[in-house]
Amino acid sequence: MGSGQLARMFALEAIPNGYEVSVYSPEQNSPAGGVGAKEFVFDYEDKDALLSFLRSIDALTFEFENIPDFALSTIEDFERNSDLIVRPSTSCIRIAQNRWKEKSAFREAGIPTVNFFSVFTEQDKNDVPKKVGYPCILKTNTMGYDGKGQVKCKSEDELITALSSLKELNHIVEEFFPFTSEASVIFARFQDGTISHYRPSLNIHKNHILDLTFHPGNFPSMIETKLVDYAKKLAEKIDYIGVFGIEFFIKEDRILCNEFAPRPHNSGHFSQDSGSLSQFSLQLRTLCNLPAPTEIPVRPVTMKNILGEDYKPESKLWMETLKNPHFRLHLYGKTEARKGRKMGHWNYSGPKPESAFEHWE
Ligand code: AMP
């Protein structure tokens, strides 16, 4: 489901392995279509088209979590009456697309989070400003990503004002955590419960969008162990089969989990050039019951995202960079370079990975 860059990079793994890949989304000439995936170009609400797509495939996976409820229910009905393999399960997708369910699942799995409160009713709207600590962040409960739909409030008055302007009540309020670093773990769990994962990465965001990933993040070993343990706890608690990315805030020895994405994650793109299996290979293997690798060797990689405003294929910087064999360019085949749009990424795997992009500003 979906035909953007994550579907493209999945197809680039699956097609050379002999699989046929079909993608479903309303987008024509999609990134995945550009590398040989068969496109089903229909609305997510078009039941007949979705059913004919589902009939044409053996196994289904997702490149994004914000699948409309109607499409998810259609998939669930179809799956009950067919042999279609769906990984991860739609129940995992439903958890990931709802911040309240997601953070509650973390808590139930024993994974620490910031304090959070739901704002689903008028009563919640009155009560929450008195309960929450400040500063706090008001977030939409669903359909939020890259900081969209978020308002930071420094005081009770600011939160009351923000809440009073809401048109509908489907939100959460979270306490702000003054973290010093953000980390993520790319984690895979196979049908028989076997797991594979990379070492945790360090992520740097710019304007709420991922800018750089340093892999491995070289956190103290106690922190690394905890991050991986939390990923495993989540996978087992919600019986996850497939690949996911899970994101954490860290301050000294305090770790809080922010969110997880039920699919390969932008912060896992380093894995394409880390001298081992990529996160898309793990996605394919978990989906098609291929063996789990016995280990994932680590080669340091620094990943830098290319957003629309930085998409400069003819610039001197790009040309010089392409001369250096330690850099690899991955582009997503998008023709329109809008501001903030993810167009591609660079992976650097050579000497001094920590300073690979230092001179880029
Ligand atoms: P999200 O959409 O929840 O991933 O939030 C986007 C970004 O906003 C995160 O990567 C953080 O940089 C920041 N952020 C979100 N929630 C919090 C929080 N509770 N405390 C501090 N920073 C936050």
What is this structure's pTM? 0.97
CA-wise closest residue to 284 among 13, 90, 86, 39: 13
- DSSP-assigned beta bridge partners for residue 302: 214, 348
Pocket of ligand 1 (CB under 6 A): 114, 137, 144-145, 147, 174, 176-177, 182, 205, 208, 258-259
SS3 207: coil
Q: For the chain, first and last CA: distance in Å?
A: 36
Q: Which tokens is 306 given?
A: 């290319």
Under 8 Å between Cβ of 94 and 120: no
Closest CA to 331 of 304, 306, 349: 306
- 173 forms bridges with which residues in the sheet? 117, 138
* Span 89-114, pLDDT tens digits: 999 999 999 999 999 999 999 999 99
Q: pLDDT, tens digit, for every residue of 40-87? A: 999 999 999 999 999 999 999 999 999 999 999 999 999 999 999 999
Structure confidence at residue 341 (pLDDT): 96
Share of the chain above pLDDT 90, in %: 96
* φ and ψ at residue 139, rounded to 5 degrees: -125, 145
Computed over every residue of the chain, the mean pLDDT equals 96
Rg for the chain, CA atoms, rounded: 21
Q: Name residue, tokens 């196994």.
A: 59
CA of 152 to the centre of ligand 1 (A): 10
Q: What does DSSP assign to residue 268? A: G
Pocket perturbation via mutation, ligand 1, pick of 137, 248, 267 by most ligand atoms within 8 A of CB: 137
* Diameter of the chain measured on Cα atoms: 61
Q: What is the pLDDT of residues 232-280, one digit of tens each?
A: 999 999 999 999 999 999 999 999 999 999 999 999 999 999 999 999 9
